[in-house]
Amino acid sequence: MAKPTVRFAAAQINLSLDRHQSSLMSLVPSWSERIADNDRALLQELSYGVARWSFRLDAIIARLMPKPLRNKDRDVHALLRVGIYQLAYLSIPQHAVINTTVAVTAELKKKWARGFVNALLRRYQREQTQIDAEVDAQAGAQAKHAFPGWLTERLQEDWPEHADAILHASNLHPPMVLRVNAQRETREAYRLKLADQSITATASTVVDSALTLSSPCRVQLLPDFEAGHVSVQDTAAQLAAHLLSPQPSERLLDACAAPGGKTGHLAELQSAATITALDNHLKRSVRITENVDRLGLHKQVTTVIGDAMSPKSWWDGVPFDAVLLDAPCTGTGVLRRHPDIKLLRQPEDVDNLVQIQQRMLRTLWPLVKPGGRLLYATCSLLKCENEQQMQAFLTDTPDAQVTAFPTSVRQTAWGHEREYGTQILVGEHGMDGFFYCLLTRDAGGHA
C-alpha cells in the first residue's frame, strides 16, 4: 500500500485540530511514522505553519469562494489551508505547490474537488498581493494577526501597550535553546563543543545555563546529548529552577512535573537536594523518569503518580522546604511553540483553569513547611491566571507573602515587575511568555 503524501497528512492533521480531536504534539509524530522519511521535516513545517496562520488562511479562502464548503467537505477546506500556506509563506516553487496539493484530492477520494482546488490556488497565485492587502484592510484583527477574536481581546485588555508586539512575536518561529547540565560541564565548555561541530550558540544574559542556537538542529546532532550534558528548554522555563534556588539537603516538590525538564534542572543546580516529581498521568510520569535518567540524576529524584489536589494519596506528611507549582494554564505565552492552542483553546477554558490553579494553590500550600517557599509559575500572559491569581491567594492566605527573587537571577533586567509577581512577555530577551511569583510561608505557620 502506498504511503500517504505529506500534504495529505498535513491536511488530516489540520482537520483533526479543527475537530479538537488531538494536538500537534501527538498528531505530527503519529503521521510522521506513516509518510516517507524525507518528508518528515516538511510535515512539521506544514502542520505547525498552517495551525499558526489558520485564521488568516480562512480569511483568504473566504475571499476566494462565494460561500463556505459543506461540513462534510471540511477536509477539502483543510487542504486549501495547506495549499495557500505554502503559496503565502514558503519558498517552494508555486507550480509544484499547486500540482502536489491538487493531487491530494484523489487521496481524499473527492475527484470533484480537483478542479475546484486548482482554480482557487491559481487565483490566489495570480492575485496574492491584492487579496493579502484586502484581508489586512477589511478582515479585522483576527485575520491580520491570525488569532482567535476572544484571545485578541483579552490580550488587548490585559496588555494594551504591548498587545501588537505580543501578537507579532507569537507568530514567529521560536529559537532553539539549550540548558547545559552544570553537573557535567560549564556552559562555555559546551559552547566550544558546539562550535567544533559548526553549531553556533549565544550565551544568555538572563540565566547562566542557557545557550540559544543560531539555527535549530536535531538533538541527535548535539554533542553528548544522550550522555545528559544538555537539554532543550526555553530560557524563560530555565528561570524556574534558578528562582526556586534549591539548597543542600532540602526536600523539594515539583508538583506538575512532566515531562521533567524543570525537575532535572533543580537536580542539576543542587546535587544534595532530594526531589519528588509528581504527575497524575502514567505516560507522562514515564517521561519524567526517562529524562532524569538521561541526565544521570535518578538518585535524587523520586517520580510519583498522583493528583496534586489530593495529596493524601501520595504525600508522606513531611513538609517540603520548597514547592514548584508550574500550574496548568492556557499556554498563551508559548503559542509560537504550540500554535495549535489557537485552535484548541476556548474562552470557557480560562475560567476552568483559573479554578484548577486556585485549588492547587490552596491544596499545596499546607505542604510547605513554615519558613519554606512556593514558586508559582505559568506559561500564560493572562492576568487572571497570574497576578490576579496571586492577589486572590494572598488575600485569603495570611501566612503567605511575596518574596524577592534571588539576586543571582537579577543581574540582567528581565520581565515586567507587577505588584504580585513578574511577567515575561513573549519574545522579550528571546524568551517565551512566563509568569513567576515566589511566595514564602511565615515561620510561625503550621504544617
Catalytic residues: 379
Residues 204, 91: Cα–Cα separation, whole Å: 31
Question: In this structure, are residues 339 and 52 in contact, taking their beta carbons and an 8 Å threshold?
Answer: yes
Nearest one of 356, 340, 417 to 17, comparing CA atoms? 340
Say which amino acid occupies 114: R
DSSP one-letter string for 184-231: T--HHHHHHHHHHTT--EEE-SS-TTEEEESS---GGGSTTTTTTSEE
Parallel/antiparallel/unpaired status of strands 416-417 and 422-424? antiparallel
C-alpha torsion 219→221→227→233, nearest 10: -30
Cα-trace Rg, the chain = 24
Residues 160, 158: Cα–Cα separation, whole Å: 6
Within 13 A of 276's CA, how many CA atoms are on the CB side? Answer: 24
226: exposed, middle or buried (Cβ count in 10 Å: 0-12, 13-18, 19+): exposed
Q: Where do we find the cell 463556505?
A: 68
Query: CA 6: distance to chain centroid?
Result: 24
What is the DSSP code (8-state) at residue 423?
E
Residues 405, 373: Cα–Cα separation, whole Å: 11
H/E element, 417: strand 416-417
Q: How far are the Cα atoms of 6, 218, 316, 330 from residue 288, in angstroms, in the given order?
A: 32, 21, 21, 22
What is the DSSP code (8-state) at residue 431?
P
Residues 349, 347: Cα–Cα separation, whole Å: 5
Q: Which residues are CB-contacts of 275 (< 8 A; sequence separation ≥ 6)?
A: 252, 253, 254, 263, 266, 267, 300, 301, 302
Residues 329, 340: Cα–Cα separation, whole Å: 15
Question: In this structure, are residues 201 and 212 in contact, taking their beta carbons and an 8 Å threshold?
Answer: yes
